[in-house]
Amino acid sequence: MSGIWVWGVSAAVVFCVGLLVSALRSRFVYVTIRGRSMEPGYHDGDRVLVRRTAGLEVGQVIVLEAPIDGTWGKPPLSSGDRVEERVWIIKRVVALPGDPVPRQKIPALARAAESRVPAGSLVVLGDNPEASFDSRKFGYFPISRVLGVVIGHHRG
């Protein structure tokens, strides 16, 4: 009887640990930074811990999917997709939907017809403008391409 009890407890512990790991992986992910767009704070090869979230605030550093040749070849990342199969960039949020369009900072938005950032869009900048592909060149980025907010940083 005690052997069955020990086996049952062991199986329950393994199951619970598996659930915990699965929950953490669906909420948090590590991403390696490629490029110099966020120097001096973040460098090529640094790793960041990202919390997947829908709530963004101006000033937060986020990881979002990079457009390839000015567009996204795949639909936005879903919960079952592998993070490693996408190209990610790290940027700082400058404006969210409903915020005034920052025309003075963003040449690509200087002639935008709207006075407010449209729903589903955001404005992002790299801290190192000489090495950053961001809203200065691309304009609005879709919120649907945001992986999450950087909550931890490890130097590469």
Q: By the 8 A CB rule, do 62 and 93 touch? A: yes
**Which two structure tokens, joined as six digits, stand for 134?**
């961001």
Active-site entry in 91, 121, 132, 135? 91
Distance of alpha carbon 65 from alpha carbon 71, whole angstroms: 10
Q: By the 8 A CB rule, do 135 and 37 touch? A: no
Active-site entry in 2, 10, 37, 74? 37
Cα-only R_g, the chain? 20
What one-letter code names the amino acid at 60? Q
Residue identified by tokens 């589903």 is: 120
| 91 part of the active site | yes
Q: What is the total residue count of the chain?
A: 156
Residue identified by tokens 């640990």 is: 17
Q: By the 8 A CB rule, do 46 and 153 touch? A: yes
Give the catalytic positions in this structure: 37, 91
